[in-house]
A and B are shown apart, each in its own frame.
Chain A
């Protein structure tokens, strides 16, 4: 556990020593804020409901998460510190989890900084606190799964730019794949498979304020699968 924290602490120090973390978090807050107040026209709707605000989160995270995870392994490879990390007494799992935790902490900070939005809105009308908790739970779980995917792609990518673009593409595909499921007829195998794969399909009930254990299971499985793939890839490299 100390090793995991050592890796995460180093990542966070580097992130906050450079402007990247600040820029990404600020960009996220600006975009979601502009969407809520100008595009969604929250005040003119006259409803004490942030469902629209949360339902765009999967798309927004498809850009936020790659910006957080692109450096992860690709930057280590550029600096040569990859060799340092892999010759320090860390296990592959500790490295992968440490890096995941640091990106997740940054995402959680960005997400936590949106809390003033419902707080201010609650002064205008009565919000259901339970719904808000469900909505934030959903965002955090979806972010965790997306970060695991981003970390894995960064571990395969040659540089930061390709890590960013690759992750954006994969996440957008996973967010939007449920939109095409209706072409295959509702209820069919292909349609339900596409729905099941989709990051945003599993987010729907959260944004309505419902925590469904099947959706949680989906995000947790994706998280574990991609962390495992990263760790497996690191291990395999030693034999090549």
Chain B
């Protein structure tokens, strides 16, 4: 379990984190989301004892990082954003060093190394020198180091950068399963990643918490509207004015003809609310009633950029952004 209380950190007069408080429970994956310079990495560096806070407290399993950094470091597995590796060691030698550093002794040591190797898919490169590895393998070697000692707390700074899509799926699966029994904090720019693995999200903006909650809750508060992309085939003559008979439709963002009888449109619908039919449902029922065939109907997600823009605007309007 991790608890931050009014955490502040300044580097030579520049304040990077302005009083952040949150709690991450055991058995959860917490995502830190935010643009560069929002304070994600600074918070992680404080939680791993690399920097001390200027004021406020960071507690890891109830231990204050500034008071007993060694006890905290023993509990934490950390993958920094830069993925620090000794280029002139082999993967095996590197993990051997990590095992020494963690004080792992036989027989647990061998089992721990084997587990880390197989969970990170490194068995094929065990003997290889790290400088010869691809970026994806380097990333996985760094992750293997972080999980080697089966730590109760796992802190991962952008764990899936540089991986190919298959590897991303594997690593996300791994993080999700680790999150069942540990406290995992990860930072990312990728919204799908948050939705795929995090139970809770904290969005940071300029060193402050701009929003927090489950991914669904955050998406909810942000969505003032629902956008649907629609492609349809109409046997009868069709133009954009016929779309206005869709129940609840707010406006049509775009409309075009894609060929004889085939049209594409982007619809702006009211946000989801309990009781009312979902936007897609209304469109479907409307199409059936009109004798129109739906070729594609897709909910357009808000992109991370749109979320950032919205949040930073809201944050500055509210003043302290809490």
Residues of A at the B interface (CB closer than 8 Å) are 2-3, 5-6, 9-10, 13-14, 17-18, 79-84, 86-91, 238-240
Q: Does B293 contact A (CB under 8 A)?
A: no
For residue B170, CB closer than 8 A to chain A, the reply is no
The distance in angstroms between the C-alpha atoms of A201 and B145, with both chains bound, is 48
Interface class of chain A by DSSP? helix
Is B84 a contact of A2 with CB atoms below 8 Å? no
A86 CB contacts on chain B under 8 angstroms: 49-50
| B82 and A239 form a contact (CB under 8 A) | no
B93 CB contact (under 8 Å) in A6, A13, A81, A84? A13
Distance of A2 Cα from B103 Cα, bound (Å): 8
Evaluate contact between A10 and B84: CB separation under 8 angstroms. no
Q: Which of B42-63 contact A (CB under 8 A)?
A: 45, 48-52
Query: What residue in chain B is nearest A17 (Cβ atoms)?
Result: B88
Q: Which of B80, B101, B102 has the most CB of A within 10 A?
A: B101
Chain A, residue nearest B75 (CB): A89
Residue of A5, A80, A87, A240 with most partner-chain B CB within 10 A:
A87
Least Cβ distance of B104 to chain A in Å? 11
A-B contact number at CB 8 A: 76
* Docked-complex contact B48 and A87, CB < 8 angstroms: yes
Interface residues of B, dominant DSSP: loop
Query: Which single member of A10, A18, A80, A81 contacts B100 (CB below 8 Å)?
Result: A10
Bound-state CA distance A84–B86 (Å) is 10
Chain B contact-residue range equals 20 to 34
CB distance from A235 to the nearest CB of B (A): 10
B84–A89 CB distance below 8 A: no
Could you tell me if B100 and A83 are in contact, using CB atoms closer than 8 angstroms?
A: no
Residues of chain B lying within 8 A (CB to CB) of residue A3: 100-101, 103
Whether B84 pairs with A80 at a CB distance below 8 angstroms is: yes
Query: CB-CB contacts of B74-95 with A at 8 A, as 1s and 0s?
Result: 1010101011111111000100
Between B11, B49, B74, the greatest number of chain A beta carbons within 10 A of the residue's beta carbon is seen for B49
Taking A81-B85, A238-B52 as contacts, is the C-beta distance between A89 and B100 under 8 angstroms?
Answer: no
Q: Are A84 and B80 in contact (CB under 8 A)?
A: yes
Q: Is the CB of A89 within 8 A of B70?
A: yes
Cross-chain contact B93 with A83 (CB below 8 angstroms): no
Residue numbers in B under 8 Å from A80 (CB-CB): 80, 82-84
With A3-B100, A84-B78 given, name 18 new contacts (CB 8 A): A2-B100, A2-B103, A5-B100, A6-B100, A10-B100, A17-B93, A17-B129, A79-B84, A79-B86, A80-B80, A80-B84, A83-B80, A84-B145, A86-B49, A87-B76, A89-B101, A90-B101, A91-B70
Among the interface residues B12, B78, B84, which one has the most CB atoms of the partner chain A within 10 A? B84
Bound-complex Cα distance A18 to B129 (A) = 11
Q: How far is the CB of A77 from chain B (nearest CB, A)?
A: 10
Interface assignment of B97: CB less than 8 Å from any CB of chain A: yes
